[in-house]
Structure 1
Amino acid sequence: MIGVDLFAGGGGLTLGASLSGIDVRVAVESHAAACLTYQANHPNTVLLSKDITTVDTIDVGRRDGPVVLFGGPPCQGFSTSNQRTRHAENPKNWLFREFLRMVKSVKPEWVVFENVAGILQTDRGRFAASFRDELAGMGYKLASGVLNAADFGCPQRRSRYIVIGSLIATPDLPIPPKSVLAPTLWDAIGDLPELKNGATEDLLRYGSEPRSAYARALRSDLELCSGHLVSRNADSIVARYAHIPQGGNWQNIPGMLRDPVNDRRRYHSGIYRRLIQDAPSVVIGNFRKSMLIHPTQDRGLSVREAARLQSFPDRYRFCGSIGFQQQQVGNAVPPILAKAVFDNVLAVSNQLGGH
């Protein structure tokens, strides 16, 4: 099967597709740092480093197998944590039309679309319904729903809205395997090195032996891995961390240490949340801005710790400034979830003899 990745970001969906055995030939991404990350990890894929609105069509080469076109338009406008622009007027909420334009142009046998679950609430589900209606109007049979990455073995409770469309079969969503138990946060990151607030040394040795089969699989045979960068928070912010227990948030901070009342109006339960080590993580989104706190150390998460919670292998290298690396990790679809979706697509396609 041939793959095309739109709005590719750092390549989480491409990684999931590649792990399923899909030949991802072309990707489109406009952000310079994300392009560097994508090229570093997927050197055999042709990357179109441009705004998708400037792409007329995509040449996948010889179509010696069915094509799956996949991607997730930027989702800030649909996120439940972004109430200011969660409406029809946000131009980013209309980028899914560019996805549909590419579907019309490429005419893939399969389509996989992903986004935040909040798309189902935006304008009472208007965007999600419009997207499905337009795909159906092109002749695609559809399956859609919300999948939680933790149900597929990811150490993070992260829900994504998935639409699978097919011109050649009746698709369905993958069913979470009953035998899979989500690793805890400590299963996932407990072997990584101890770090300080503002850590800047990218390449380090591991802190201990892997604490789980999950961590062992992501480490592979590496002795060193990259990504041990931590945002430097002001001493006044770090002083607040010490008052927050695992599972706690900004409300545990003594009054005198809190921001002024005006600043607290933008707070929600995810701000200053200290992660729980013996459970799967909460969503790793914009983990720097939310100031998610390491479960046992008074600092934010490193890029590698967040990548582990997203199910990226340790060999996966993120490029650009620390802020851009954090953004790439936080925006990604967990590759372990992507692989489950693409495994399902391949299984149905192979039943048809690949046609």
Structure 2
Amino acid sequence: MAKNSKRKSRASDNDADHVPSSVPVKKPKEETEQLLSNAVAVAVELPAAVDGDSPARSSGRKSVSKKEEALVEDEEESKFVGDPVPNDEARRRWPHRYIAKKKTATIDSTEIPKGSEPPKEFIQAKKHYTEALIDGRVHFKLFEDCYVQAGEGEDNYICRVVEMFEGVDKKPYFCAQWFYRAKDTVIQACSNLIDDKRIFLSEIKDDNPLDCLVEKLKIVRVPLDVDVATKRDMLSNGNYYYDMLYSVPFSSYQKLPTDTYNEGDGNESDSTVSSESDSNLTGIKDSKVNEVKGTEMRMLDLYSGCGAMSTGLCLGANMANVNLVTRWAVDLNKYACESLKLNHPETEVRNETADDFLLLLKEWEKLCQSFSLVAGGDPMSVEKEETENAEDDGDDEDDDDDLGEEVFEVEKILSICYGDPKEIKKRGLYLKIRWKNYGPEEDTWEPIDGLGDCQEKIKKFVVDGFKSKLLPLPGDVDVICGGPPCQGISGFNRFRKKDDPLSDEKNKQLVVYMNIVEYLKPRFALMENVVDIVKFAKGFLGRYALGRLVSMNYQARIGLMTAGSYGLPQFRMRMFMWAARPNEKLPGYPLPTHNVVTRGAFPLEFESNAVIHDDVKAAELEKELFLGDAISDLPPVANDEERDEIPYGDMPATEFQKFIRLKKEDMPGFSGVTVGSSEHLLYDHRPYKCNDDDYQRVCQIPKRKGANFRDLKGVRVRDDNHVEWDPDVERVYLPSGKPLVPDYAMSFVDGRSSKPFGRLWWDEIVPTVVTRAEPHNQAILHPLQDRVLTIRENARLQGFPDYYKLLGPIKERYIQVGNAVAVPVARALGYSLAMSCKGTAVEGPTFILPKKFPSLEAVASPALILDEDQ
């Protein structure tokens, strides 16, 4: 479904004069009438790249006006030469230019970027030409690439001339198809990541006075998936090369279509390298990535948490008959790792930093090379080392006998890591050893360089690990997903570095994530993050992430998605960035399925990245869900509940409750390992226990909608919505001596907030699930029970199936749920991924999910889910 970009994107004031725009903006009426006074139809500017003006008509406007004056003085200065295109041919090739008077020409949807508003009218043509003379000296031909005049001190714009025509006003025009430098795309401040000879083709075309043309260029089309040096070699003596299509909606960088050269005649420009077939244009690719891997797609979940994102992706992909399996997961939180392993026993879960994981992968590849398991090793050096070690072994035995010391013999190697597991401040590659004649409690981590006498044991471990895919090698991973933490952009961080966000250690993991993608070269990648990544510091980190992916020749795009729009009673909004290798189809974003109004302002420059329906009234959406729809069936529990498993009690009362309570193997898209019986009690339905003072406060909050600390005795609300102490009421104290109404509640957000000790209600949608279950500054009290929402209730709001059990202390389980990606959102994205893998994805950045996705009706009628033509 094409997205209509009615939400205008704007650049900063500094960019407004020279950055091409992607949003339709009409010229001031008086200026348009002066420039095109005798035209039958007025040209409305098409979108370009970022700030609201097409290249030749931003800072170039004043220059155009001067040129127009010059044209009046000397009509021969810039003119068409040669014979015009025969009338019949011109009308066939450019029918929109020859509409009868008083009729409006409309544009074909293929001529504008998807998501942009089409122009209302065209400049009508009298004749078309194929050649022109500019300034009486430069000879231009149709479909040549050119510089177009910009404002004083600005770089000239770059275009391909796709039409030359004389308007009915008897003035000469050309239609430009624009190219953009990296700095003129959304990458902007991170354009240093991109080769300065690389430009991006757009689908934007608009009309300009002929004398805007300045100079001819040579622009070469090159394969996408080759390195910069190869592209530069192909450029030869040309000015620029291009290998991607850029469009503003969803900040999309995509592979070029089969034919991107000419409108109308099929003749190729002399300035392009166009002989490559589609397969050649996909470039050189690691053979491991291209090989057929059977029915399984392997996924690596970085910064995995308890596994919500990968769980949703796998469920969604498997619903479309693509067997996506999370083979590896990495997270620093040990409790999250335990939860993930419990629910996904098929996954190799690693409790370590992503930095160490990347170093481990590189060392693992070296080990595999050393034993000739992959190319690049030197088997002779291994044999030599083994011989030397064998000789050393003999000497060691003699020494040991002489000294009478105990000899420890390695029974087997259990695991491998990179870091400092012995905590001896010596980082490196370590192996976990089971010692002969000793039990598991005596297992130890030993540096690999101290195990020179165990080459056969090391070899067996590496060979077995290579066969079982213990760790991924480059080309082994089909999909990488993850949400690198960027605490440096958090509003709670008082020391945020706005001028240089990447210098902040708290934002380092974004770089590490991209480094892992670059090393492993997956077919697809999906990065999730808070919306502040495209807000903070003018969106620098979001631009950096896009720039890194594009510099690695990945197709990429950004979408902003709201959890409630996919069947949850939660407004939570997150950024999702897709990436795909050149020979893959870049996945799109599933449009909302439920009627939830998005809350929170989009960053102005990224408004066109919002995944929403253009016309909500015309869309067939399910009714929004409320808190009661999600949790009303759960049994009552007390503030001090300590059981991790309890009976359900009531039957499910809503479709959501029926769906969320399905057994694991009954869940749509389940395709994994089930340990034991899938019958289960209700897990994790216990709250964070409020202390005695807070509990007494909670008990006095009325059980009605909107109740909070303001309803406590002694608080008065002024007309301006600020709270103050009621001078007529004596302050109430608790048995502990603490005040019933704490000072921090009165002063929170300057006394304007109603969140402290706020009670939720059945017909409400929760703003966002939080990681801290304390009621001091947020509304998280149950509607009718004197407690905060339980772990399970929060998990329901995030879309976790009830069978998903969590491990760790209570606070840690709240953190796991609060940090998770909403499962229904990930499920919808997994479905999109499957469509791209199968080659059945629709064109455009958004699409409509199958009806009832993924309700119980869909379970009963799988065809509803697999109807890929919708």
Same fold, TM exceeding 0.5? yes
What residue is the counterpart of 2:661 in the other structure?
Answer: 219
* Inter-CA distance 225–243: structure 2 relative to 1 (3 Å threshold): closer
Q: 1:321 to 1:277 in 2, by over 3 A?
A: same
Normalising by structure 1, what TM-score?
Answer: 0.90
SS across alignment from 2:650: coil
Q: 1:347 to 1:280 in 2, by over 3 A?
A: same
Residues in 2 aligned to 1:161 and 1:252: alpha-carbon distance in whole angstroms: 37
> Of the candidates 580, 596, 610, which is equivalent to residue 166 of structure 1?
580
Percent identical pairs in the alignment equals 29
Q: Is the 8 A contact 1:238 1:298 kept in 2?
A: yes
Aligned residue number for residue 176 of structure 1: 592
Q: What letter corresponds to residue 67 of structure 1 in structure 2?
A: D
| Counterpart-to-counterpart distance in 2, 1:190 and 1:240 | 24
Determine the structure 1 residue equivalent to 2:494. Answer: 84
For residue 23 of structure 1, the aligned residue among 322, 325, 330 is: 325
Q: 1:188 to 1:194 in 2, by over 3 A?
A: same
Q: Is the 8 A contact 1:188 1:215 kept in 2?
A: yes
For 1:288, what is the secondary structure of its paired residue? coil
1:195 deviation in Å? 1.0
Q: Map 1:199-278; keep pairs closer than 5 Å.
A: 199-220=641-662, 222=679, 224-241=681-698, 242-243=700-701, 245-254=704-713, 255=715, 256=731, 257-261=740-744, 264-265=747-748, 270-278=755-763
Partner AA of 2:628 in structure 1: W
Structure 1 position 240, deviation (Å): 2.8
Match of 2:24?
none
Corresponding residue of 2:304: 8
Q: For the residues of structure 1 that align with 2:510 and 2:478, how far apart are their CA atoms?
A: 19
Q: In the alignment, is the contact (CA less than 8 A) between 1:68 and 1:108 conserved in 2?
A: yes
* Bigger radius of gyration: 2
For residue 794 of structure 2, give the secondary structure of its aligned residue in structure 1. Answer: helix
1:67 aligns with 2:478: yes
Distance 1:197 1:77, change over 3 A: farther
Distance 2:554 2:356 in 1: 25
TM-score (norm 2): 0.38
User: How far is 1:48 from its partner?
Assistant: 1.6
2:540 paired with 1:126:
yes
Question: Partners in 2 of 1:3 and 1:166 — Cα distance?
Answer: 14
Q: How far apart in 2 are the matches of 1:79 and 1:201?
A: 35
Which of 771, 780, 783 is equivalent to 1:286? 771
Compared CA separation, residues 198 and 78, structure 1 to 2 (3 A): farther
Structure 2 Cα separation of the partners of residues 200 and 157 of structure 1 = 30
Q: Secondary structure at the match of 1:324?
A: helix
- Select which of 312, 315, 329 maps to 2:803: 315
Deviation at residue 265 of structure 1 after TM alignment: 4.3
Given that 2:478 and 2:522 are in contact with CA atoms closer than 8 Å, whether structure 1 keeps it comes out as: yes
Report SS of the residue matched to 1:316.
coil
Secondary structure of 1:95 counterpart: helix
Counterparts in 2 of 1:180 and 1:3: CA distance versus 1, 3 Å: farther
Q: Which residue of 1 aligns with 2:348?
A: 46
Measured against aligned partners, the alpha-carbon deviations of 1:46-94 in whole angstroms (never above 9, x if no partner) come to 1122111111238437968x711110012544345x2535543652222
AA partner of residue 622 (structure 2): V
Structure 1 residues without counterparts, runs of 5 or longer: none
C-alpha distance in structure 2 between counterparts of 1:333 and 1:93, whole Å: 19
Q: Which of the pair has the greater relative contact order for Cα pairs under 8 Å at 6+ separation?
A: 1
Q: Which moved more, 1:247-256 or 1:275-284?
A: 247-256
Does the CA contact (< 8 Å) of 2:578 and 2:586 recur in 1? no
Amino acid at match of 2:339: T
After superposition, residues 327-346 of structure 1 pair within 5 angstroms as 327-346=815-834
Q: State the Cα distance separating 1:320 from its structure 2 match.
A: 0.5
Instruction: Summarize deviations over 1:178-225 as a string: whole Å, max 9, x none.
Output: 433332111111111101112111111113111211111111255621
One-letter amino acid matched to 1:19: L
Higher strand residue share: 2
SS at match of 2:660: helix
User: What amino acid is aligned across from residue 225 of structure 1 in structure 2?
Assistant: L
Note if 1:191 corresponds to 2:633: yes
For the 8 Å contact 1:16–1:339, the answer to whether it is kept is yes
Query: 2:236 is matched with which residue?
Result: none
Q: 2:686·2:791 contact (CA, 8 Å) conserved in 1?
A: yes
Cα displacement string for residues 251-293 of structure 1 (whole angstroms, at most 9, x for unaligned residues): 4444443222598447855443322211332211124135511
Most deviating of 278-287 and 112-121: 278-287
Matched letter for residue 821 of structure 2 = V
Q: 1:252 to 1:109 in 2, by over 3 A?
A: farther
Tell me: CA distance 1:130–1:309, structure 2 relative to 1, closer, same or farther (3 Å). Answer: same
Q: Aligned letter for 2:535?
A: Q
Cα 1:347/1:199, change in 2 over 3 Å = same
Q: How far 1:296 sits from its partner (Å)? A: 1.5
SS in 2 for 1:113: strand
Change (3 A) 1:91 1:63: closer
Contact 2:569–2:630 (CA under 8 A) maintained in structure 1: yes
Report the more deviating stretch, 99-108 or 270-279: 270-279
Answer whether contact 2:709 2:745 (CA < 8 A) is retained: no
CA contact (8 A) 1:26 1:47 kept: yes
Residues 112 and 250 from structure 1, CA distance in 2 versus in 1: closer, same or farther, beyond 3 angstroms? farther
Q: Is the 8 A contact 2:480 2:525 kept in 1?
A: yes
RMSD between aligned residues = 2.5
CA distance in 1, matches of 2:314, 2:624: 22
Q: Give the drift of 1:142.
A: 1.5
Question: In structure 2, how many angstroms separate the alpha carbons of the residues matched to 1:154 and 1:47?
Answer: 28
Deviations 1:130-165 (A, max 9, x none): 111111111112221210011111221111111111
2:564 — aligned with what? 150
Contact 1:219 1:313 in 2 (8 A): yes
